[in-house]
Every structure is written in C-alpha cells, then in structure tokens.
Structure 1
Amino acid sequence: MSYDLAVWDGDRPLNDGQAGSTYDELFERYLESDDVVVPPVPRIVAYVEALVARYPDDEGSGVWASPPVIGEASGPMVYLLMSYGKAEEVSEYASALAREHGLVCFDPQAERLRP
C-alpha cells in the first residue's frame, strides 16, 4: 500500500479542479504511455535529487514503494509512491520542497493541491 503525490513543472492551477484536470492530462501523456520514453526535465531531476538526498531511495530505506524515485519521472512530472507508514512525514517534506523548487504538488487521493 502506498500514498502517492504528483509533482510537476508548470503554472500553479487556480483551484483543485483545474489541478485535477492538469494531473490527469500529464499522467496520461507522460506516465501511462509505454510507447514513448520522455526524459525528466532538469527541474524535476533537481527536485528528485534533493528529495532522495533527504530520503534515500535504496531498497532498505522503507520510504519509497517504488524505488528508484527518478524511475517514476517523465517529462515535467514525477509520481511519488511513498510507503504508507512514512507518508505523513515524507509527503510534508515533498510538498514543501516542491514549493521551494517552484513546482506544483498535487494529492491524487484527496484530489487537491498541496500547499
């Protein structure tokens, strides 16, 4: 079981509904399709590097449900799959870090933007 967050590079949506639509579009375009592999954009790479510097994505860490984290990145988006036991702590940090990097953080379970 995991707790998921989506982080992307782009303008911050005006509300949760607009964020949900953007999330759906980006997820379908960059993460659902196995046809085309799109390398993550530099801002996403920098974000993931900063995130795993704090929460390493090795198999024994117990933080990530699907390591390596960069493997869940494509184009302007990364999909974070956190182990449920660590989700509260890690999601708070991931959300704050996204903001520091000028990225959008969206909670697909709650269908809302993270501050």
Structure 2
Amino acid sequence: MSYDLAVWDGEQPRGDDAGAAFDELYERYLDSDDEIAELSSRIVAYVEALVERYPDDVASSPWASPPVMGEASGPIVYLLMSYSRAEEVSEYAAALAREHGLVCYDPQGETLRV
C-alpha cells in the first residue's frame, strides 16, 4: 500500500480546479505511451533535493517505486511512498514543493497540499 502525491511546475490552481489540472497533467505526461517528455529544471532540482533527504537507493527508502526520477515526466513527478512513512515524507515533500515554487496535490484526498 502506498500514499501518493503529485508535484508539478505550473501555476497554483484554484481549489476546485486542482483535480482537473492533475488529471490533465497525469494523462498527458505520465499515462501516455509517448516518450517521456524533457523534465522541467525545477522538477529535477526538486527531486534531487527530495532524494538527498530520502535516498531512493537504500533498503530503508520510503519510496514505493524507486527511482523517484523515474516517476517524473515533463513538468510533473508522481511520488509513491510507503504508507508506513507517508506522514513524515509527505509533509517534507509538500514543504519542499512550496520552497521550490511547485504545486503539490494529494490525489487520494483530491486536495492541494499548501
């Protein structure tokens, strides 16, 4: 079981528009059979900072689908974390997204993490 977050480079959507923005980005960049799109430099910097704190190449990794960079395409990264570490890791991931000027969305709760 995992807890998921989506982080993307773009304008902060209004509350009700967040789900539609996520769905569009997910379909276009993550659920497509097309080649992986060139990563946004802000997403690359974000993922690098995230895995510096929570490495994805160790046995104690909180990531359910490493490597984390492999879950990124274009302006979005989809983070899958083990449920047992979800509270700790998702709190940090959301705060880090804010620091990087990125949008953080919780697809389970269908809400922005601000």
TM-score normalised according to structure 1 size: 0.96
CA RMSD of aligned residues (A): 0.8
For structure 2, list consecutive stretches of 5 or more residues without a partner in the other structure: none
Is 1:34 the counterpart of 2:21? The answer is no
What corresponds to 1:81 in structure 2? 80
Structure 1 CA distance for aligned equivalents of residues 32 and 85 of structure 2:
29
Q: What's 2:13 paired with?
A: 13
Kindly indicate whether the alpha-carbon contact (under 8 Å) linking 2:55 and 2:61 is maintained by their aligned counterparts in 1: no
| Residues 1:3 and 2:3 aligned together | yes
Tell me the CA shift for residue 74 of structure 1.
0.2
In structure 2, the residue matched to 1:94 is 93
CA distance in 1, matches of 2:2, 2:61: 11
Residue identity opposite 1:11 in structure 2: E
Per-residue CA deviation, residues 29-75 of structure 1 (Å, 9 max, x unaligned), is 00001222212110000000000000000141230000000000000
> SS at 2:59's partner residue?
helix
The one-letter code of the counterpart of 1:60 is A
Question: Residue 35 of structure 1: SS of its match in structure 2?
Answer: coil
Q: Which stretches of structure 1, 4 residues or longer, exceed 2 Å deviation after superposition?
A: none
SS of structure 2 residue aligned to 1:29: helix
In structure 1, the gaps of 5 or more residues are none
2:19–2:111 CA contact under 8 A, matched in 1: yes
For 1:36 and 1:63, the matched residues in 2 are separated by 27
